[in-house]
Structure 1
Amino acid sequence: MNFYGHDGEKRKCIGFCVGIDHAQYMSDEFNKRGIKSVCLTGENSPEERESYIKKLESDTDDLEVIFTVDIFNEGVDIPAINLVLMLRPTDSPIIFIQQLGRGLRKHGSKEFLTVLDFIGNHNKAFLIAIALNGSRYYDKDSLKVAVATQFANIPGCTNIQMDRISQERILDQLNEENFNSMKYLREEYLKFKKMNGGKIPYLLMDYIKYDGAPDPLKFLNKEKTYIGFVAKMEKDEELKKLLEEEVFLKILKDLSNRLPIKRIYEFSILKYLLNNEKIDIEQAKSEILKYVDYVDNESVLHSLNCLNGTYYDSAQLRNSVKCFELKDGVLSVTWDFKKIVQNKKYRVYIEDIINYAIIRYEKEFENKYYGIPFFKLYEQYQMIDAALLSNFTKIHSSFRGQGLVTNGKEYFLFIDLHKDENIEEKINYKDKFIDRQYFQWQTPNNTAQSSERGKNIIFNKDRGINLHAFVRKYKEIDGIVQSYIYIGKGDVVEYYGEKPITVKMKMQNEMPVSLYTEFIKKV
């Protein structure tokens, strides 16, 4: 504390402890050393708490530190705090964020907050990395890079110093941890349930309420539906019984499969069709415009076709329920869909997915129109998403496999930076970042300079061809296929070689340093 200091004349500190005995011990020891402290827990009356908080905030009172257990995690506001001591193991990123948040309130008396976290030798120190990384999505690799670079990617005036031993300990734990294992997901779910007041979070919407809540899509992906996961965790026979209704389960899986949504068009139409039997193009457009500030007619029609299942392959048609019928520009609800949403016990879960999808989308992307294709810079995508977002009018699942897929003048480059050790030489492409603005890419190995496709790539600018680059570091982490990150459009400025052609592209957007570091750094 003496070394790192605090902002302001008087130290106004909160120390988060493991239990009441610990908080009392810390308070006694600090008082012995002449630092006026008290221990406040749930056993103190609200009046006592109030009185000590006022003393801590006062510049004239000599109280400098309150040691506490859980009472200040949430709901208690002391904006004047200028020092936070984390004295308990972090067993949940949410609680870490809540405790950190106690000190992050703005106040005229301070320009910065000092946080001292005594990480300790406990087996969940890596959760601090999850809490500090704070991005909407993370994987083991991005967390390792964050730790190795001392969280250089955190915006604003934040300076994090980790001692070498803590750093190594966290990196070792990250190597050992599998974020997709049932053991890890169960722990994360139970922590969230506790935070939810011990109530079972039956709905995806329960997660929207809390900052720092886990991403429920991890649970959903494990079991194909979110309530399937809850049924497993809670051994809930009623939920299991609900999932025995085949039509309901298929609709649930189909909607769950679209999360997180990449454009809001289909789901705004779905929301309307929960209470209406049909929708035409004009009505569909006005529903979509409730959420985005513009939409083109081509995309409105395309989304009606998507809901109709027009672009499903034979397996998708077999495994899904026909919920809507498109005829003469009007999308009507089928009897199968109607009977499910008219039944309260099923409807609540269908409605939940639709509401969650829309609210999450709005929180992340607001109401901006991104054109066609509907890509957002530095967002995560799967290959098949490019078909949806470029209004592809053939079977969408044909967008798979290696490297390059096209829709008219839109060329989509899907790139793995680090190839598997045992990859065949003929597909071991030498794709890499040259710097934050230039990227080297090799075409599929059957592409000749003289072919139409070859010319479209090497003279893309003259020929009006848009080259969209999607990059991922590894194909799989912990057995889970990774998404690609969209890094924008590029133009070819140099090229050489045949089958494959090696091209150097100048990207239209210079890459943010933090993302660039994440891509190129191996830990």
Structure 2
Amino acid sequence: MNQEKKLITNSNNTNLLNELTKSMKECVSFYFSVAFINFSGLQLLLDSFKEAELNKKMGKIITSTYLNFTEAKALDKIKEFNNIDLKVFVTDREIGFHTKVYIFEYEDYYKVIIGSSNITQSALKSNIEWNLETISKSDSGFIKDVIKEYEHLWSISEDASSEFIEQYQEFLKSLKKNEQSNNVIYEKQKYIVPNRMQKRAMENLERLRTYGEKKALVIAATGTGKTFMSAFDVKNVNPAKLLFIVHREEILRKAKETFETLITNTGKTFGLLTGNHKGKHEDYVFSTIQTLSRCYEEFDRKEFDYIIYDEAHHATSPSYQIVMNYFEPKFTLGMTATPERSDHYNVFDLFDNNVALEVRLHDALEDELVIPFHYFGITDIEGVNLSDISIDDIAEVTKRLKLNERVDYIIEKMNFYGYDGEKRKCLGFCASREHAEYMAAEFNKRGYNSVCLHGGHSVEERGKSITQLEDDEAELEVIFTVDIFNEGVDIPSINSVLMLRPTNSPIIFIQQLGRGLRKHGSKSFLTVLDFIGNHSKVFLIAIALNGSRYYDKESLKVAIATGFANIPGATHIQMDEIAQERILEQIDRENFNSMKYLKEEYFEFKKLNQGRVPLYLVDYIKFDGAPDPVKFIDREKTYLKFVGKVEKDDHLRGLLINDTFESILKELSSKLPLKRSYEFIILKYLLTHEEITHALAKHEILKLINDVDDDSIHHAFEYLNQNYYDSTQLKAKQKLVDYQGDKLVKTDAFKRVLANPELRSYIEDVLNYGIYRYEQEYKHNYYGVPHFKLYEQYQMIDTALLSNYRKIHTAFRGSGLLANGNDYFLFIDLHKEEDIKDSINYQDKFINEEYFQWQTQNSTSQSSERGKNIIFNKDRGINLHLFVRKYKEIDGKTEPYIYIGKGDSVAFEGEKPITVRIKLHREVPSNLYTEFTKKV
């Protein structure tokens, strides 16, 4: 065997952990020597170690006490495996220990991985690490040297006996106490700078203010630093007077301390305005809403330049509304983690629908605003059968989950996977109160100190249990709950979550997962154990974990097969084979576009909307994990018609009897999701104005986007004037504006519909939703002309609008190659429909992440002008834009194309068709390449 080498780095496509787990499956025995082992990394290898133990594969591991980084807890856990011998190299000041080597023995060869990675979650999954993998015959000189050196290290290392580990643990504890006393001094000296989220929020707030906006909302999960962000922004704006409003006094004190820490040497004074403190005359006043609602009239309406509403979802309540309607600040900021709790009002409207920033779970993980989680999807015991019942039948689900055998199984898995930190601090989410009470009782019988908490317990009872759980010295380990910890309650030190109920909502799943993701000094990751049964909605787990609001069947299957490689950072998602197969089978059977599925999705969402009919598209923005309402529009042409139909609501259906209104709503809804926001921004302005000029349109667009070119604004005006509609469209679609000179003016028909407040609210909703969703997907970037974002989804006809095409747009479809001037758009299906007998055998395929092979239409010759433009595109100034999709259709719905960027022809052969090799300007990301090429 020739010596083979491979560089292993942590990327979207693979990482060292994948290589280690794969190698352990295939090897005969293994030998590791790493400087550091902590529990965050070890937990990710536990299943591989267990499988090796069952298959009688022997292993040896050497680690060290170097820098005191190895955790005694990790050593203890390794000792539980009968097939692994463990030794520890004890370092001193003269000799360090820094090896990182993983050796795998096979029948007649060895695989050796040497590099930079220790056994920590970051080193195995997310750090910038280089590791070289070499495969050599057993008798090679290199392997002999490696084995000899390993045996030497083994001989000079100490046995990891129970006594040794206990002594090491005591030493680490004493060291930790000393470090903590030092840290107090260090924290005071620390220079605080904005994180990535805070910088983005501040930039967006400044843009909004520059263009005259006076209100904005920031949505970000608990623990991501919203208060610091607001303090940074206030420091930049430097208002003379500030008012900071919350609904709980304990939050208020922390907020005041944060502002005092950041805003120094300005001469500003800070005061509390509460029941016990009356600092109303200070420059920066921090008040509870309870106190302020009783004394707000003591202030002048323009007293404050800047007002902040923390936990702004409360701002829809009467006490907040009185205060909001009274004051007239120069700028108002709302901050919330949970915009869904908006009673009968829309919290977005209160802040003029200006969302300066939204940070959902995946964003927070990517920006390292929360800790990583290690998710283990574990097949439930055979004794729990939920296949023949509805998971909405809570009484029956509870009955079937209350099994002593299941309790033992949960404890067994809980002990196997462990947790990060000194003490287990666990939340167990149950199916019902009865189930939670049962679990707490059974855990207590088995010696695991537990309580049950639910909505029937008082605030004092809940607070007492939470305090005990967080206290390292208290015995309480687990709180079992059903209905009070999904959102809103913050227990930062939670290090374990048990999912003990069947998942019937991605929203609730994400909320429950989020309870343990708050950063805390006692943990570096969250352990999540999900016991996956055989109920009919198991696949919803995959939707929740996938993290994308907009998915199809194929992308979900690839995500599962690749261990959700798109999840950022050191987060790890692992499902056992039975759970994976069960989910994949369900996804194959389910039609995500059927009316049956859409109705189930809608009514499940309605339950989470406190049982209220979600009348507006923006209702779906409120929840992380909410369904994509555009699917409902695709079904019935307008969201209003879909709701009217599924709710059997005669009033809603009656609104659509107005033909002009229905035509306008259909026209606007058909544009969703937006690929360019200019048209909707212009129309939103016209809701409150009679006309708009080019200059005004540019001003409005620049509130939301970094830049815009004048030609695209002209094109947007022409498009809204229906210049590029075909004759059928002109007959069917209501005209909203007339292009007169350099301005757009509302038509009489549009004015008549807007005069009806109820009809107007639905039109405004579509415009707001379109703009908001566009911002989430495209941010505030300018994409030029053509207006394409890499790896975004497009249909053929979109390219006409986005390239400022000035002919009838419906001509832009049906062909694999479309052109607008020097821009050539290549639309490519990787899998052709089997029942269509093409006159040619297409050979369109990825060669690798950088090169693509494409065949022209079979009428294109090398000597034709189009042929020359393609094969000599770079010399002729022709831009080749590639759009690729895996399948033309899934579940009866036409799939969009993915834009993979521009490329240049570097080789060609053949005639009619010409086979062209294209080098892409940007390599396709590994996870997207896998999705395009992997068959599941």
2:876 is the alignment partner of 1:463: yes
Name the structure 2 match of 1:300: 713
Per-residue Cα deviation, 1:383-428 (whole angstroms, up to 9, x for no partner) = 0000000000001111100310000000000011111111223254
- 2: distance between equivalents of 1:184 and 1:103? 31
SS in 1 for 2:528: strand
Name the structure 2 match of 1:387: 800
Greater mean deviation of Cα atoms: 57-66 or 144-153? 144-153
Q: 1:131-142 residue pairs with structure 2 within 5 A?
A: 131-142=544-555
- 1: distance between equivalents of 2:672 and 2:858? 34
Name the structure 2 match of 1:234: 647
Report if aligned partners of 2:679, 2:716 keep a CA contact under 8 Å in 1. yes
Name the structure 2 match of 1:290: 703
- 2: distance between equivalents of 1:291 and 1:428? 46
Where does the alignment leave 5 or more consecutive residues of structure 1 unmatched? Answer: none
- 1: distance between equivalents of 2:640 and 2:542? 29
- 2: distance between equivalents of 1:448 and 1:56? 74
Q: Which residue among 721, 727, 736 is the counterpart of 1:314?
A: 727
Greater mean deviation of Cα atoms: 40-49 or 349-358? 40-49
Greater mean deviation of Cα atoms: 33-42 or 426-435? 426-435
Report if aligned partners of 2:549, 2:627 keep a CA contact under 8 Å in 1. no
- 2: distance between equivalents of 1:100 and 1:492? 47
- 2: distance between equivalents of 1:422 and 1:212? 37
Name the structure 2 match of 1:478: 891
SS in 1 for 2:532: coil
Greater mean deviation of Cα atoms: 487-496 or 278-287? 278-287
- The two structures have a TM-score, normalised by structure 1, of 0.99
Greater mean deviation of Cα atoms: 278-287 or 294-303? 278-287
2:638 is the alignment partner of 1:225: yes
SS in 2 for 1:118: strand
| Superposed displacement of residue 332, structure 1 | 1.1
- 1: distance between equivalents of 2:844 and 2:557? 23
Name the structure 1 match of 2:475: 62
- 2: distance between equivalents of 1:366 and 1:123? 37
- 1: distance between equivalents of 2:573 and 2:694? 53
Q: Which residue among 386, 391, 415 is the counterpart of 1:2?
A: 415
Name the structure 1 match of 2:813: 400
Report if aligned partners of 1:436, 1:516 keep a CA contact under 8 Å in 2. yes
- 1: distance between equivalents of 2:500 and 2:667? 45
2:423 is the alignment partner of 1:29: no
Name the structure 2 match of 1:514: 927
Name the structure 2 match of 1:121: 534
| CA 1:295–1:244: 2 relative to 1, 3 Å | same
| Partner amino acid, structure 2, of 1:450 | S
Name the structure 2 match of 1:435: 848
- 2: distance between equivalents of 1:371 and 1:152? 31
Report if aligned partners of 1:255, 1:353 keep a CA contact under 8 Å in 2. yes
Per-residue Cα deviation, 1:201-240 (whole angstroms, up to 9, x for no partner) = 1011111122221111111111100011110111111111
Q: 1:108-257 residue pairs with structure 2 within 5 A?
A: 108-257=521-670
| Partner amino acid, structure 1, of 2:476 | L
SS in 2 for 1:147: helix
Name the structure 1 match of 2:368: none
SS in 1 for 2:900: strand
Greater mean deviation of Cα atoms: 199-208 or 19-28? 19-28
SS in 2 for 1:363: helix
- 2: distance between equivalents of 1:244 and 1:63? 61
Per-residue Cα deviation, 1:45-68 (whole angstroms, up to 9, x for no partner) = 121111101111111111000011
Per-residue Cα deviation, 1:268-302 (whole angstroms, up to 9, x for no partner) = 11011111111121122112111111111110000
Report if aligned partners of 2:797, 2:809 keep a CA contact under 8 Å in 1. yes
Report if aligned partners of 2:549, 2:625 keep a CA contact under 8 Å in 1. no
2:744 is the alignment partner of 1:340: no
- 2: distance between equivalents of 1:459 and 1:327? 43
Report if aligned partners of 1:264, 1:291 keep a CA contact under 8 Å in 2. no
Report if aligned partners of 1:419, 1:428 keep a CA contact under 8 Å in 2. no
Report if aligned partners of 1:72, 1:99 keep a CA contact under 8 Å in 2. yes
Report if aligned partners of 2:907, 2:918 keep a CA contact under 8 Å in 1. yes
| Partner amino acid, structure 2, of 1:389 | L
Per-residue Cα deviation, 1:423-442 (whole angstroms, up to 9, x for no partner) = 22325421101111111111
| Partner amino acid, structure 1, of 2:875 | D
Report if aligned partners of 1:309, 1:322 keep a CA contact under 8 Å in 2. yes
- 1: distance between equivalents of 2:839 and 2:494? 60
Name the structure 2 match of 1:352: 765
- 1: distance between equivalents of 2:663 and 2:453? 52
SS in 1 for 2:515: helix
Name the structure 2 match of 1:86: 499
Structure whose CA Rg is larger: 2
- 1: distance between equivalents of 2:785 and 2:438? 62
Q: Which residue among 441, 454, 458 is the counterpart of 1:41?
A: 454
- 1: distance between equivalents of 2:562 and 2:633? 32
Higher relative contact order (CA 8 A, sep 6+): 1
Name the structure 2 match of 1:367: 780
Greater mean deviation of Cα atoms: 486-495 or 153-162? 153-162
- 1: distance between equivalents of 2:665 and 2:587? 33
| Superposed displacement of residue 153, structure 1 | 2.3
Greater mean deviation of Cα atoms: 109-118 or 18-27? 18-27
| Superposed displacement of residue 160, structure 1 | 1.6
- 2: distance between equivalents of 1:135 and 1:467? 29
SS in 2 for 1:489: strand
Name the structure 1 match of 2:862: 449
SS in 1 for 2:738: strand
Q: What's the Cα RMSD here?
A: 1.0
Where does the alignment leave 5 or more consecutive residues of structure 2 unmatched? Answer: 1-413
Report if aligned partners of 1:89, 1:122 keep a CA contact under 8 Å in 2. yes
Report if aligned partners of 2:549, 2:626 keep a CA contact under 8 Å in 1. no
Q: 1:87-106 residue pairs with structure 2 within 5 A?
A: 87-106=500-519
2:832 is the alignment partner of 1:419: yes
Greater mean deviation of Cα atoms: 103-112 or 347-356? 103-112
- 1: distance between equivalents of 2:818 and 2:540? 38
Per-residue Cα deviation, 1:306-328 (whole angstroms, up to 9, x for no partner) = 10000001111111011111122
- 2: distance between equivalents of 1:378 and 1:420? 24
Name the structure 2 match of 1:492: 905
Greater mean deviation of Cα atoms: 320-329 or 479-488? 320-329
Per-residue Cα deviation, 1:130-180 (whole angstroms, up to 9, x for no partner) = 011111321111111111222122211122221111111111101110101
| Superposed displacement of residue 121, structure 1 | 1.3
| Superposed displacement of residue 364, structure 1 | 2.1
2:72 is the alignment partner of 1:72: no
| Partner amino acid, structure 2, of 1:58 | D
| Partner amino acid, structure 1, of 2:783 | Y
2:431 is the alignment partner of 1:18: yes
| Partner amino acid, structure 2, of 1:236 | D
Name the structure 2 match of 1:270: 683
Percent of counterpart pairs with the same letter? 67
SS in 1 for 2:797: helix
